[in-house]
Amino acid sequence: MIIAKTKYELNEALGQISLSPGKLALVPTMGNLHQGHLSLVKLAKLNSSKTITTIFVNPLQFGKNDDFDNYPRTIEQDIKKLNDENCDILFLPKSRNEMFPDETEIQLIKSGSLGKELCGKLRPDHFDGVLTVVHRMFNIIKPDIAVFGAKDYQQQILIRNMSKSYFPNLNILTAPIVRSNNGLALSSRNNYLSNEELDLASNLFKCLKKSVDLYQLGESIEVIIKTAKEFLISINLVPDYYEIRDELLSPIFNSDQVGKKVILGSLKIGNTRIIDNIEFNS
C-alpha cells in the first residue's frame, strides 16, 4: 500500500494508479479502524479496481464540547489493517494544512435544514464540517465511487444530496451496519465504554427491532415512539432523539405509509454518544 502524507505524494500515487484502467473507489475515515470500516474497504474493492482510504480526523466536524483532542488515533494498527485488506493507497494528511491549505479559501458546504435535525440538533455545524471535508476529498481525489457506512445514516443521506449537486457522476455506495454479537453497532466511540456499558448500549438495537415489529403490527407512530422511549428510560438510557422517518429522512406521520423507512435513535452513556438505526420496508 502506498502511504501519501502530502497532496504532492497523493497526486504522485494517483498518477501511478491512473496508469491501470478501471474505477477508483474512496473510503473516507477518521481512523481507529474496526470491522465496520474494513467492511467499507471490502465493498470498495468489490466495486473498483483500485481503492484509496483516507484517515483524517477532521477538526471542522467537532464542536466546542466534542472530543477532537481525545479522538482515538491508532495509526500503526490502522495501517496494518489496511495492508491486510490490500488497500492500494492510504491518504494520511500529515497536517490540517494538507487538507485546507488556505483557510480563507475553504469552500464551506452547508448541510441545509436536514443538517440541523436529528444529530444536527445535538451537534450544531457538525454536518457542515463533514460535507466540507468530504467535498474537499472528492475534489482532490476525484474517485469514481465513494463508500460510507449505514450506521451514520443521516451523514450518508446528506453526502448523497451534496454529491448529486457537485459530483453528479460519482457513485455513492452505502455499506450495511456491522454489529458485535450483542447487536451493538460497531463504532470508534465504543472504545470509551466499559463492558457493562457496552451491554447496556446494545439495548438500543433491541429497542429498534421491537419498534419495527410494532410498526408491522400496525401500531401508531406515537405509541411506537412512546413505548421505545419508556423502555429506554426504564433502563436508565435517555434518548436524545428516537424517530421514524422515510428513507430520505422526511418525517412520516402515519404507520400505514408504504415504502422504505428508517428508525433512528441516539443516546448518551456518560459522555459517549451512541447512535443506531434500522431500515425496513412496509
- Residues classed as catalytic: 37
152 or 243: CB nearest ligand PAF: 152
Residue 175 C-beta: closest distance to ligand PAF, Å: 12
Residue 162 C-beta: closest distance to ligand PAF, Å: 11
Q: Give 270-274 contacts, CB < 8 A, sequence gap 24+.
A: 270/192, 270/193, 270/197, 271/67, 271/192, 272/189, 272/190, 272/192, 272/193, 272/197, 273/122, 273/189, 273/240, 274/187, 274/189, 274/201, 274/204
Length of the chain: 282
Examine residue 162 and tell whether it contacts ligand PAF (CB under 6 A): no
135 or 245: CB nearest ligand PAF: 135
Examine residue 202 and tell whether it contacts ligand PAF (CB under 6 A): no
Examine residue 154 and tell whether it contacts ligand PAF (CB under 6 A): no
Examine residue 28 and tell whether it contacts ligand PAF (CB under 6 A): yes
Cell 444536527, residue?
120
60 or 262: CB nearest ligand PAF: 60
Stretch touching ligand PAF by CB under 6 A, among 28-36, 96-104, 113-121, 160-168: 28-36
E strand or H helix at 153: helix 153-166
| Binding pattern for the stretch 106-145 against ligand PAF, x by CB under 6 A and - elsewhere | ------------------------x--xx-----------
- C-beta separation of 78 from 32 below 8 A: yes
Count the residues of the shown chain that bind ligand PAF, applying the rule CB under 6 A.
10
Stretch touching ligand PAF by CB under 6 A, among 24-32, 113-121, 196-204, 271-279: 24-32
SS3 call for 24: strand
Examine residue 29 and tell whether it contacts ligand PAF (CB under 6 A): yes
Spell out where the chain has E strands: 2-4, 24-29, 50-55, 89-91, 145-149, 171-175, 239-246, 260-269, 272-281
What are the grid coordinates assigned to 10, written together? 497523493
Examine residue 32 and tell whether it contacts ligand PAF (CB under 6 A): no
Examine residue 152 and tell whether it contacts ligand PAF (CB under 6 A): yes
Give the CA distances from residue 29 to residues 73, 124, 149, 233, 272, in Å, rounded to whole numbers and listed in that order.
12, 21, 10, 33, 19
Q: Find how far residue 150's CA is from the centre of its chain.
A: 7
Examine residue 30 and tell whether it contacts ligand PAF (CB under 6 A): yes
The binding site for ligand PAF (CB under 6 A) comprises 28-30, 58, 61, 130, 133-134, 152, 155
